[in-house]
Structure 1
Amino acid sequence: MTEPDALTRAAVRRAFGRYETALVDNDIPVLDELFWDDARTIRFGATEELFGYDQIRAFRAARPSAGLDRSLDRVDITPLGPDHAVANATFRREGVAAVGRQSQVWVRFAGEWQVVSAHVSSRPI
């Protein structure tokens, strides 16, 4: 691994950790901050297809805040250059017989890492 890759991986891991904390705490302002404010941003969830920052923001604001706790099984960060990376994670929720899967494309804009595309799904275990 090259030094730039290591720096990108560490920076995206920090951003991913901040996202994870905001997700389980339902910290909507931080979640909004971590998604790129653009009509091209996409988030596919377990039951929704959200196109554009405005739809993602509206979904977060309307989503129930209960039952968001989860435990991460694995997180892999793949740098694609100094300003781009992909994060993939698997997770579990207590009492749910499924493995959750999450993929995110992160891009650094003006020094800040933001998600431009995300996909969340699960599979039964």
Structure 2
Amino acid sequence: MTVDTTIVNDPDTLAEVTAMFRRYEQALMANDTAALTAMFWASPHTLRYGVGEILYGHAEIAAFRANRAGGAPRRVLGKTSITTFGRDFGVANTEFQRANTDRLGRQSQTWVRFPEGWRIVSAHVSLLGETS
């Protein structure tokens, strides 16, 4: 696949990635593990770096989801930036605040369009550390 970097934020592609990002957040807050797992590329090359875990490959990500008691902590999204390149590649970055706490976090997702649809190929979630 060649990414056409001359096409940035094509309106249709941007709308598709934005919709997938929103679907992911809805599934995360609903603890819909089947939907969350399906949104990741089914490949050993997929990765997810979480707050407390480092997961390599779709199988590890699926096992993490299946074994995560109670789902993700409640959160409210802050500033979100979604950028697409060409018609088959996009990145989504968002800030969030965990409910009932001052903890701020960040999340990034790299989305690629495959024949079966948009899938996350790489994701990262982290919490900001305390500053002095």
**What is the TM-score when the length of structure 1 is the normalising length?**
0.92
Query: Do structure 1's residue 50 and structure 2's residue 64 form an aligned pair?
Result: no
Q: Distance in 2 between matches of 1:48 and 1:119?
A: 10
Number of aligned residue pairs: 124
Map of 1:95 onto structure 2: 100
Gaps (5+ residues) in structure 2?
1-6
In percent, how many aligned pairs have the same letter?
A: 44
Q: Distance in 2 between matches of 1:56 and 1:66?
A: 13
**What is the TM-score when the length of structure 2 is the normalising length?**
0.87
| Per-residue Cα deviation, 1:15-73 (whole angstroms, up to 9, x for no partner) | 01000000011001100110000000000000111000000000011112156321111
Choose between structure 1 and 2: higher helix proportion.
Answer: 1
Map of 1:21 onto structure 2: 26
Q: 2:128 is paired with a residue of what secondary structure?
A: strand
Higher mean Cα deviation, 58-67 or 39-48? 58-67
| Amino acid in the other structure paired with 2:123 | A
Work out whether residues 40 and 52 of structure 1, in 8 Å CA contact, stay in contact via their aligned partners in 2.
yes
Runs of 4+ with >4 A deviation: none
Q: 1:4 to 1:66 in 2, by over 3 A?
A: closer
